[in-house]
Amino acid sequence: MRKYCGYEGQYRIKGYGGLPIGTNGKGLLLLSGGIDSPVAGFLMAKRGVEISAIHFHSYPFTSERAEEKVKTLAKILSLYTGKINMYSVNILDIQKQINQKCPEDQITILSRRFMMRIAERVAMDNEIDALITGESLGQVASQTIKSLYVTNSSVNIPIFRPLIGLDKVQIIEIAKDIETYETSILPYDDCCTLFLPKHPVTKPKLEDIEKSESNLDVEGLISHALETMKVYEIQ
């Protein structure tokens, strides 16, 4: 918004406000191709957090165009945050193992726990202080209170969820304002839609999830995903 000051022909331009980038540490944004996560990154940057991003994909089950879409979102976001280092991780092997060896209704929450663990490893290796997600309470099955508790228990690093109390209309308004919305709604699948269960568990019990994970080589799968990770500098 530009407002005339009334002296010497000067104008005041209203900015977004907030704190200088980097004054509140570093955060690793779990960046998908959806509407929510770019907004979450923007809001944390406003609070002075330096943003890096991690993107999970399932190539070749998801297309290269889907990853390009996420790079475009990171580029738009970098207009507000400055340079973004984006870590791209293929989790197809992890999803296949979960699909083969674990109950179908737990696929989403188990996949989410793997994403958190991998993100935590990347954060620790790069001196990043916290994870950032675009989760909004009750929006989908993996975002109920019990699901978020089970997700949190997979890592020790802090997880910031700046959208937790916002509804979809409010999130979309911010997405349109920062000009990520039109890119976010482009019709390219991401890894979260792969092996999606018909009836995902909404009230998972931690002991049940950990029992299912005992059927998997958790450390081996994480290590393999990290070995094949790619890093992009977005600005």
pLDDT tens, position by position, 196-231: 778 889 999 999 999 999 999 999 999 999 999 999
> Is residue 10 situated within a structural domain?
no
Per DSSP, 20 falls in state -
Nearest 5°: CA angle at 139, between 133 and 144? 80
Long-range pairs of 114-118 with CB within 8 A, sequence gap ≥ 24 = 114/218, 114/221, 114/222, 114/225, 115/30, 115/56, 115/91, 116/151, 116/154, 116/155, 116/159, 117/154, 117/155, 117/218, 117/222, 118/54, 118/56, 118/89, 118/91, 118/222, 118/225, 118/226
Q: CA-to-CA distance for 175 and 189, rounded, in angstroms?
A: 19
For the entire predicted model, the pTM comes to 0.91
Question: Tens digits of per-residue pLDDT, 96-154?
Answer: 999 999 999 999 999 999 999 999 999 999 999 999 999 999 888 889 999 999 999 99
Residue 126 structural domain: 19-234
Q: Which position has the token pair 């997880």?
A: 159
State both tokens at 98.
């979960």
> Is residue 172 situated within a structural domain?
yes
N- to C-terminal Cα separation, the chain? 25
> Is residue 11 situated within a structural domain?
no
Q: CA-to-CA distance for 156 and 159, rounded, in angstroms?
A: 9
> Is residue 6 situated within a structural domain?
no
Backbone angles phi, psi at 51, to 5 degrees: -100, 125
Q: CA-to-CA distance for 130 and 26, rounded, in angstroms?
A: 7
CATH number, domain containing residue 97: 3.40.50.620
User: What mean pLDDT do residues 35-51 have?
Assistant: 97
> Is residue 182 situated within a structural domain?
yes
State both tokens at 154.
């997979």
> Is residue 103 situated within a structural domain?
yes
State how many domains the chain has.
Answer: 1
> Is residue 14 situated within a structural domain?
no
